[in-house]
Structure 1
């Protein structure tokens, strides 16, 4: 589905708003809303394929700004926070792997078919796994917040602890995005027919 620049900007703003509301939950919403950031980058890669040179950096910058505002808003120093270390830089390739997954799906899907659903599942699981390994692995092996000694067995245990919660949250938001996408496609298909039937 070809999108105009205005449509792309609207999609970006909508995704940015959802990320802002859910990512800032750390201090304002008391964990009642799960962070949609991972799903946002996957959906952005799908809906904004070809706009990665400007859309991805903007979403990435938003994520960092939100983190900074939340942490500093709690009266803490951003750079000495538990979650911020040299591993924090690995969020860039982590999130970009999700973007690539969504972008790959957008390039290879052929409309609303069962085959597209299967491709979506594969693209999400593979890109999500890459994101999860990069973000979790970099934090475990590089962050000073993880006590020494570090070992592979403890890392795999840590991977297992967070595997399902992160996957479930991401899949839920992507599923909601898929429903919105299907509705938008169906509405777009009906509009030309209804406009053709109007008296001139």
Structure 2
């Protein structure tokens, strides 16, 4: 389904707002949607990576900056900000590429597309997790030394399922929305052509 530039901008704005709202932690019951947003953006905004990906990254960093400085802490001295923080670019890039790959190879609303979506999400999510968790563990001053692969694997295990589940939840919601919009789009043209 081809989209107009207005539709692409609307999707981008909705994704950016959703990420910002959950990343700010205004609503403690809503977990951070960033990972799901980057995967869905790769799918829905395929071909716009030159402008959409950098703007989503800038939104994520800006929200982090606002949250951290509003706590009265210098951005650069916060627990989560280290040399590893900048590895969020390739980590989120992996999610974008997973969604983009799915958009290129999917064949519509079929079971084969669902299987490809699950595979693309799992691969890109795991790659994102290894990059983001590994860069934080190995490069952050917040992690006590000495460091070891055993301790890193234990740390990865502590956070793995929550990140996987949260991302799958948001991508699942996006998939439901996608199916609903696709079904509505199929029905609407037929109603407009009915003879009175």
TM range, smaller chain: over 0.9
User: Are 2:149 and 1:152 aligned?
Assistant: yes
- What is the match of residue 173 of structure 1? 170
- Which residue of 95, 104, 108 corresponds with 2:105? 108
- Which residue of 67, 72, 77 corresponds with 1:70? 67
Query: Structure 2: how far apart are the matches of 1:120 and 1:198?
Result: 39
User: Are 2:5 and 1:5 aligned?
Assistant: yes
Query: Structure 1: how far apart are the matches of 2:29 and 2:146?
Result: 34
SS in 2 for 1:82: coil
Structure 1 unaligned residues grouped into runs of 5+: none
Query: Which deviations, in whole Å up to 9, do the C-alpha atoms of 1:71-94 show, x marking residues without a partner?
Result: 000111000000000001100000
- What is the match of residue 161 of structure 1? 158
- What is the match of residue 192 of structure 1? 189
Query: Which deviations, in whole Å up to 9, do the C-alpha atoms of 1:77-119 show, x marking residues without a partner?
Result: 0000000000011000000000000000000000000000000
TM-score (norm 2): 0.99
Query: Which deviations, in whole Å up to 9, do the C-alpha atoms of 1:38-62 show, x marking residues without a partner?
Result: 0000000000000010000000000
Moved over 6 A (4+): none
- Which residue of 22, 36, 41 corresponds with 1:44? 41
User: Are 2:134 and 1:137 aligned?
Assistant: yes
Task: Identify if the C-alpha distance between structure 1 residues 198 and 65 changes in structure 2 by more than 3 Å, giving closer, same or farther.
Answer: farther
SS in 2 for 1:147: coil
Query: Structure 2: how far apart are the matches of 1:113 and 1:167?
Result: 24
Q: Cα RMSD between the aligned structures?
A: 0.7
- Tell me by how many angstroms 1:198 deviates: 4.8
Query: Structure 2: how far apart are the matches of 1:195 and 1:50?
Result: 31
Query: Structure 1: how far apart are the matches of 2:4 and 2:152?
Result: 45
- What is the match of residue 52 of structure 2? 55
- What is the match of residue 94 of structure 1? 91
Task: Identify if the C-alpha distance between structure 1 residues 198 and 23 changes in structure 2 by more than 3 Å, giving closer, same or farther.
Answer: farther
Structure 2 unaligned residues grouped into runs of 5+: none
SS in 1 for 2:117: helix
TM-score (norm 1): 0.97
Query: Structure 2: how far apart are the matches of 1:57 and 1:195?
Result: 39
Give the number of equivalent residue pairs: 196
- Tell me by how many angstroms 1:32 deviates: 1.8
- What is the match of residue 23 of structure 2? 23
